[in-house]
A and B are shown apart, each in its own frame.
Chain A
Amino acid sequence: MKGDPTLERIAQDNGLALRAAGSWTAPFASLLEDMVSDAERLAGTRPNIFIDVSQISKLDTFGAWLIERLRRSLARGGIEARIAGLSANYASLVDEVRRVKAPPAPGIASLTITGMLEQVGRSVAGISETFIGLIDMLGAVLAASGRVLLHPRELRLTSTVHHLEQVCWRAVPIIVLITFLIGCIISQQGIFHFRKFGADIFVVDMLGVLVLREIGVLLVAIMVAGRSGSAYTAELGSMKMREEIDALRTMGFDPIEVLVLPRMLALVIALPILAFLGAMAALYGGGLVAWLYGGVDPEAFLLRLRDAISINHFIVGMVKAPVMAAVIGIVACVEGLAVQGSAESLGQHTTASVVKSIFLVIVMDGVFAIFFAAIGM
């Protein structure tokens, strides 16, 4: 190809002479690098080398640096390289690269056993920090709620309603659809297995208790954590990244009061509503399958349901909902406000928000189960 760079040995009375020609530019960088390292070897132990660069048609930083690299490595071997014929256009570029220092070694973390143990230790120590962070946020939210209770005018109603629309109203279709399907599946599986014992009708008991007491609220909480918790973290996180939260603070606003409280409030109102709608959809789906697949007609289903469940089951489910909402909200806001400057950090905290809130929601559910069993509900 025309313009390809070359570095040839030319005749010279005493010592070694090289002539560089062609286009010493970025597209040929790997070729140039090979030529330069060949030249380093060729130099051997001669006291000086003459390099003629007058034939170079085009030079950029890559080419200029490689010439400089050759000069330096020769100099380290005690060989003086004389570079001649540099065109005036490129003189300042060559001067520029002459000032380049050696690159610093990249700080690569070494993989050692102690390093891994240290990582484990740090993660374990991090758990307590996470809890302190959550309790800290809980306290801050409660304090902000207290202030708002004393001065109800300070409640950001517009913002709360906006978030309520986002997390409640817009979530209804997907939540209803999924819980409806779950109800269908529970009912179908129940009938399929209970039939062996001739106990088809007990599927109504199972469905009623499971949906109202456990699955309904738990499933909805998990879906809300994935849907709205992640959104909260991402919103607050990107506001943090762009210093919007600092701006709020310097204007004399409390970010907890302006950003966190309306979101928490919306979630605490939304989750019981969604859990209720979800439970109804699951019962409806279950009843439909019981009728079409198990031959339990709607009248018999309702009668059985009335006998099987008490108001207690419903109360147990509904009491859990706002608590789970608070857990999801607090985790989401803590993670959102912990986001650092990079896009990667935003992703990590959003993941952490969803994982932690689902984990805590399930733990809470277990704690509630023990509590309600103890008080006999």
Chain B
Amino acid sequence: MAQQNSDAIIRVRDITVQFGSTRVLDGLDLDVRRGEILGFVGPSGAGKSVLTRTIIGLVPKIAGRIEVFGVDLDTAEQATRRAVERRWGILFQQGALFSSLTVRQNIQFPVRENLKVSQRLLDEIMVAKLGMVGLRPEVADRYPSELSGGMIKRVALARALALDPELVFLDEPTSGLDPIGAGDFDELVRTLQRTLGLTVFMVTHDLDSLYTACDRIAVLGNGKIIAAGSMADMQASQHPWLRQYFHGKRARAVMG
């Protein structure tokens, strides 16, 4: 388990997000603790990605407060905001690699823009990050269109980790990977969390990921967090959706 440090790195209070007349998030509260891997689940279309994007600041909310590293991003000044943004890394669902840059340039981009570093160190760090996500240095000069789906995810993770962030958001990191690849990815997230002391906010549908990688699980339903706790808490829950999710055919297959 991660260090039992209860200070929250992300503190979401009472946020409401609405698109037109559909209310996606309705007075949602959530804490993400330092050093944990939080798995975030919920039915498709429940607003998991919306919550992630709201925390990052890509989706406007109509009410509520979000603090990341103790900074309220709405009231923070530009410089404070940028400082926070430097301390997190984001893996988008489709990777969102810059298609006109090579793998090398993609990973070096955030470093180059934020730090004054020699080209030599940039290249070495790039190879180190590629190594961390399990890729060989030879892919460095390929373009994203020349990579497989799994490799895109890995490169995108390497880019998210480029600045050694304290917090990473992973939006369905294992979707579209084969089970072995997905298993490796879970292991990778776990290892990185241990080595770099990361806090991980992971939106996922993958029961294996939840089971092997996550310290704590939060479940989204009806615009609120309907449950949060360990895997054992989830399995013990009597909530109908949770019962179906954690005791369904696929869940039994995972848990044996």
The verdict on A65 contacting B195 (CB below 8 Å), with A101-B137, A103-B140 known, is no
- Tell me whether B118 and A65 are in contact (CB under 8 A): no
Cβ-defined contact, A103 with B144, below 8 A? no
Most buried by A among B111, B117, B195: B195
Residues of A within 8 A of B195 (CB): 90, 92-93, 96
Q: Which of B116, B126, B146, B164 contacts A60 (CB 8 A)?
A: B164
B164 contacts A342, CB within 8 Å?
no
* Nearest CB in chain A: distance from B36 CB, A: 16
User: For chain B residues 182-198, which have a beta carbon within 8 Å of chain A?
Assistant: 191, 194-197
Question: Is chain B's interface secondary structure helix, strand, loop, or mixed overall?
Answer: helix
Residues of A contacting B123 with CB < 8 Å? 103, 106
Asked whether any CB of chain B lies closer than 8 Å to the CB of A310, the reply is no
Interface assignment of B143: CB less than 8 Å from any CB of chain A: yes
Inter-chain contacts of B124 with A (CB < 8 A): 65, 69, 100, 103
Interface string of A125-169 (1 = CB under 8 A from B): 000000000000000000000000000000000000000000000
A33 B117 Cβ-Cβ under 8 A: yes
* Contact yes or no, B141 A104, CB < 8 A: yes
Query: Across the interface, do A100 and B164 meet the contact criterion of CB distance under 8 Å?
Result: no
B253 within 8 A of A: no
Q: Which residues of chain A are within 8 angstroms of B117 by Cβ–Cβ distance?
A: 29-30, 33
Q: Which of B117, B126, B128, B140 has the most CB of A within 10 A?
A: B128
Collect the chain B residues with CB atoms within 8 Å of residue A65's CB: 121, 124-125, 128
Docked complex: A2-45 residues within 8 A CB-CB of B: 25-27, 29-30, 33
Partner among B129, B131, B143, B194 whose Cβ is within 8 Å of the Cβ of A101: B131
Q: In the complex the two chains form, is A341's CB within 8 Å of B99's CB? A: yes
Asked whether B79 is an interface residue with its Cβ less than 8 Å from the other chain, the reply is no
- Is B145's CB within 8 Å of the partner chain A? yes
Q: Give 1 or 0 for each of B74-110: 1 = CB within 8 Å of chain A CB.
A: 0000000000000000000000001110001000000
A343 partner, pick from B100, B121, B138, beta carbons under 8 A: B100
- Judge whether B104 and A106 touch: CB under 8 Å: yes
Say whether, besides A29-B115, A29-B117, A30-B115, A342 and B104 are in contact (CB < 8 Å). Answer: no
Query: Are B125 and A62 touching (Cβ within 8 A)?
Result: yes
| Interface residue? A107 (CB, 8 A) | yes
Chain B's closest residue to A69 (CB) is B124
Which residues of the other chain, A, contact B125 by a CB distance below 8 angstroms? 61-62, 65
Contact between B145 and A341, CB atoms less than 8 A apart: yes
Is B227 on the interface with A (CB-CB < 8 A)? no
A30-B115, A61-B164, A99-B131 known; A341 vs B194 contact (CB < 8 Å): no
Residues of B near A96 (CB, < 8 A) are 128, 131-132, 191, 195
Closest to A31 in B: B116
Q: Could you tell me which residues of chain A, from 100 to 124, have a CB within 8 Å of some CB in chain B?
A: 100-104, 106-107
Whole-angstrom CA separation of A198 from B197 in the bound complex: 90
Q: Which of A25, A103, A344 contacts B100 (CB 8 A)?
A: A344
Q: Do residues B126 and A103 form an inter-chain contact, with CB atoms below 8 A?
A: yes
Question: Is residue B127 contacting chain A, with contact meaning CB distance below 8 A?
Answer: yes
Q: Are A100 and B191 in contact (CB under 8 A)?
A: no
**Chain A residues within an 8 Å CB radius of B141:** 104, 106-107
Assess whether A323 is interfacial by the CB under 8 Å rule: no
Contact A103 B127 (CB under 8 A): yes
Docked pose: A25 CA to B86 CA in angstroms: 13
Is B163 engaged at the interface, CB distance under 8 Å to the other chain? yes
Excluding A61-B128, A65-B124, A96-B191, 18 further A-B contacts by CB distance (< 8 Å) are A25-B164, A26-B115, A26-B164, A29-B115, A61-B132, A62-B125, A65-B125, A101-B131, A102-B127, A102-B137, A103-B124, A104-B127, A106-B104, A106-B140, A340-B145, A341-B99, A342-B100, A344-B99
Give the interface of B toward A (CB within 8 A): 98-100, 104, 111, 115-118, 121, 123-129, 131-132, 137-138, 140-141, 143-146, 161, 163-164, 191, 194-197
Q: What are 22 inter-chain pairs, A to B, with CB distance below 8 A?
A: A26-B115, A29-B115, A30-B116, A33-B118, A33-B121, A60-B164, A65-B124, A69-B124, A96-B128, A96-B132, A96-B191, A96-B195, A99-B131, A103-B140, A104-B137, A104-B141, A106-B140, A106-B141, A107-B141, A341-B99, A343-B99, A345-B100
